[in-house]
Amino acid sequence: MQSPWKILTVAPLFLLLSLQSSASPAYDDSSRPRDSNGHTCVGCVLVVSVIEQLAQVHNSTVQASMERLCSYLPEKLLLKTTCYLVIDKFGSDIIKLLSADMNADVVCHTLEFCKQNTGQPLCHLYPLPKETWKFTLEKARQIVQKSPILKYSRSGSDICSLPVLAKICQKIKLAIEQSVPFKDVDSDKYSVFPTLRGYHWRGRDCNDSNESVYPGRRPDNWDVHQDSNCNGIWGIDPKDGIPYEKKFCEGSQPRGIILLGDSPGAHFHISPEWITASQMSLNSFINLPTALTDELDWPQLSGVTGFLDSTVGIKEKSIYLRLWKRNHCNHRDYQNISRNGASSRNLKKFIESLSRNKMLDYPAIVIYAMIGNDVCNGKSDPVPAMTTPEKLYSNVMQTLKHLNSHLPDGSHVILYGLPDGTFLWDNLHNRYHPLGQLNKDVTYEHLYSFLNCLQVSPCHGWMSSNKTLRTLTSERAEQLSNTLKKIATSEKFTNFDLFYMDFAFHEIIQEWQKRGGQSWQLIEPVDGFHPNERKSVFLRGMLMTSQTLDNQEWTQLTSWIKGNLTCNSRTREWLCCCLRIVSGRRCSSSGPKSWERRIHSTPRLNRCLETKAGTEPLRSMHPWGAQGGRGLGKLMPQTLWGLLRHRPKGVSFSSIFAKCLSLNEERIWMTVQLCLLLGSVTLPLFLK
């Protein structure tokens, strides 16, 4: 997954930035192709295609279509001004070539933004001209033989050297190179600014002049005088003199969510409206400045740390929002430490941007999701550049040791496996790309071939017509997933427990299809590679899948709870009661109100299980209270009463009790945690 955004940053900026200077990721692997001509070529073809199609859609001249394109751009970052500057400098040659019926490939090769080196194949997106390529190219060069643009191109000058563009380039460079927020006065790694690695990526700072105030820390003196952890809870209740932080958060076990990921984790997204002429309007590029300063990522919408509403009308919430809904003391405690192009090889270069103090901060749930770049690269022969299982083991162990030295005790780390990316070719290769929908001339197969030829493909191994290569890539991905699984089962750490989760992509597809969707809709339409926002919904749910249980125990457990398919308060109570029976734990009650609160309050249930741990004496055997029970009620343990009361319809108490005794305590507890963590997610997603 070679930072594909750097290929397309050129397009929205309309050839403003040569990609090798303005958008090179700070942490590129040494194995990645450094051919800047490839990125520049893709940007040129993309922009010229949009200009040509705008003229076709609106039945206008090329000059008018370029001016229309600039009029759509916002003023922020000087985008509109710079667009008109580019038209003034390069527009006349583009007009001449397009007016002579030259396609975007010919235009960009003529202007030398695309180059065919000696001994290298000809890289093109569109079908070749009817006349020979050599003849067509020579004809085009005659049209612009005295053009100043050729002089500029041959000089090798960097577009960012132009004074008017220097500031724009610098802002984008800083956004890529800095792992911590660009605007951070107190240097605590949290910011009051949204983009440039600000609070779109990690919780918003509530005091940027005090480095001891930041999201996720334990409260300072119960936040009597200030909100030291930025969760919005501080001060003293005048009615009883108890600090609000102590009253609402003590014992609720707040914890943050941290993602160590690559571009899917950062929620990479390029709007199809940016390159689809028939959909362009004044509203198409409103979010472009924000996207550029967030590296064309949308972490504020990601499936793990997102905090804003979905842009496609999906009601599912991120894992962070689920944690927040469960416990408002978790407010703002999220960090998205993801990067385009990240892998196990280069994570060590930016993991220092993670903010967690094991003495001062709350525990955290850390998700390690490097799901592609250890097998994905753009080389002509991608297999030798893939990470080996031995190297992955070394890289991940180095990461886990770093986490162990920074995470507070009681944290959790989840290692996420790699997907089987053969889905991409199988479902997309014969479909039309947005650039080819108008004239039915560009499919994803053409796009993949073009990117592979230029050696700038996000993943040559899977985005290839070579079935053998696709199979080899999937086999290596499976080997790396098995390595992660081995680490999770064999390694132990003092400050966190370790889990492994498969990337259950095929299950996600099946669930999507059951809801009436088409499988290809789960992939970003512009790059034909990344998961889109629809798929993020299912990624959230699949973080805790049936893979956490062995097949036999999972079959037992699913058959037991098959009668009720919603992980609601009732289901949580059965599971909690089952756990108490197996482990011998008891959660006492002082009366009917207390019992009802424990049933319907997830934090209270969790607190009962984790903090009391069965140490509290059995005072009440019946939910009516110590003095309220009668007859057999006084002889019935509270946990069994809860299990009986909240069992599924048609399921006998004796069968539930017997099933509880047959199941492993640790496995039940993992399922209880699933319900507590994900709240109202329906269980079929995990059971099938």
CA distance 366 to 495: 12
- Check: CB of residue 230 under 8 Å from CB of residue 338: no
Asked if 66 and 51 touch (Cβ cutoff 8 Å), the reply is yes
Angle subtended at Cα 367 by Cα 366 and Cα 372, rounded to the nearest 5 degrees: 150
Write the CA distances from 342 to 1, 39, 265, 349, integer angstroms: 8, 18, 10, 10
SS3 of residue 661 by DSSP:
helix
Q: Which long-range contacts (CB under 8 A, 24 or more apart) does 601-608 make?
A: 602/326, 602/327, 602/569, 602/572, 602/676, 602/679, 603/252, 603/253, 603/326, 603/327, 605/572, 605/573, 605/576, 605/676, 606/253, 606/676, 607/251, 607/252, 607/253, 608/576
Sheet holding 334-338, edge to edge: 334-338, 256-261, 364-369, 411-416, 496-501
The structure tokens listed for 279 are 């959909």
Q: Is 71 exposed, middle or buried (0-12, 13-18, 19+ CB in 10 A)?
A: exposed
Backbone angle region of 343, left / alpha / beta, with phi > 0 → left and psi within -120 to 50 → alpha? beta
Give the amino acid at 454: L
Residues tagged active-site? 263
CA-closest candidate to residue 629, choices 644, 643, 614, 641: 641
Max Cα-Cα span within the chain:
103
**Cβ-count burial 282-320 (b if 16+ within 10 Å, e if not):** eebbebbbbbbbbbbbbbbbbbbbbbeebeeeeebbbbb
Please state, in angstroms and rounded to a whole number, the distance separating the CA atoms of residues 107 and 141: 9
Burial (CB < 10 A; 0-12, 13-18, 19+), residue 119, is exposed
Q: Tell me how long the chain is.
A: 688
